[in-house]
Amino acid sequence: MTLPDDATLAALGRRVDFRECGPCGGACCRMPWTVFVTPRDVERLERATGRARASFARLAPLPAWEREAFGEGNLLFTRVALADGRVPQLLKREDGACVFLDAAGGCGVHASKPLMCRLFPFYYEMAGDDGAFDPRERPSPAGTRGQVLGRPLRLLVDRGHEGRCPIATDRIAEVEREAGDAALALAQAFEEDLTRFAGEKEAYAAQWKRPGRGSSDIGSS
C-alpha cells in the first residue's frame, strides 16, 4: 500500500487549516479529547523531532468519560485499540494541553502533526455495509462525499470542538468550499494508514517494549 509522502500530507493539511487556524491560542490543542496516533504518525514525528516516541506518545486506555461520551462507535477507538484496550495517543502536559503546543499557542510540529489533527475541524464517517450513514451524525455544511477504498465516505463537523474553534464556529462552510477535496484526501490517507495498522497492531505494541521505546508507558493511564 502506497501512502502519501510527508510533504504531500503537510500540503493537504495546510489547505484544511485555512489561514493557519487564526490566533485562537491553540483551543483545539487544549481540549481533553484523546488524539490517536497511527504508526505512520509516530514515525513522522520521530523523524521531524529527533525524539523517541515515549517522549510524546504512549499506549494507554481511553478514559472512561471519553468512552461514555463517544461510545464504542467512536470514529477510531475500536480500530486503533489493542486487544487489551490500550490505544496509541499523544501525551498531554500537566496543564492538559498537547505536549507539542508551543509558548505562542501554536502547534510545535505543524508540518508533521498527526492525521487526526490535520483533518480538524472535520472528521468523517465510512458508510456501513448497507451503504447507509449514521443518521445521528452531523454532516459537514456542504455534505462533501467521496469514495475511499471502495466505500462511501462523508465529511462531518468535529463535534468535540464546536463553539471553541474559530473555524468550526464561523468559517467551516468556507473551509469546506475551499478545501473539501483536500479533506477527502486526508481521510483517504487516514483510512489507508488504519488499514495498515489493522495488520500490525501486535508488532506495533511490541516496538514500545524495546529499550528506548518507553516500556514504562505500557498500560499507563
- Per-residue pLDDT reduced to its tens digit, 62-93: 888 887 776 655 556 777 788 888 888 999 99
117: nearest Cα among 218, 27, 199: 27
- Per-residue pLDDT reduced to its tens digit, 37-50: 888 898 899 999 99
Look at phi and psi of residue 158 and say left if phi exceeds 0, alpha if psi is from -120 to 50, else beta: beta
Model pTM greater than 0.95? Answer: no
How far is the C-alpha of 170 from the C-alpha of 71, rounded, in Å? Answer: 28
Give the list of residues 6+ apart from residue 221 with CB closer than 8 angstroms, or none.
60, 61, 63
Query: Which cell numbers hold the place of 186?
Result: 486526508
When pLDDT is averaged across residues 29-33 and rounded to a whole number, the result is: 85
- Per-residue pLDDT reduced to its tens digit, 101-115: 988 888 889 888 898
The CA-based angle 155-161-164, given to 5 degrees, is: 130
208 domain-assigned: no
215 domain-assigned: no
75 domain-assigned: yes
The residue with greater pLDDT, 3 or 147, is 147
- Kindly report which listed range (57-61, 79-83, 160-164, 212-216) carries the lowest average pLDDT score: 212-216
Give 57's pLDDT tier (boundaries 50, 70, 90): very high
Task: Work out how many domains the chain is built from and give that number.
Answer: 1
118 domain-assigned: yes
Range of the domain at 81: 6-199
1 domain-assigned: no
How far is the C-alpha of 153 from the C-alpha of 187, rounded, in Å? Answer: 9
Q: What percentage of the chain has pLDDT greater than the value 90?
A: 13
Residue 209 buriedness (CB in 10 A; 0-12 / 13-18 / 19+): exposed
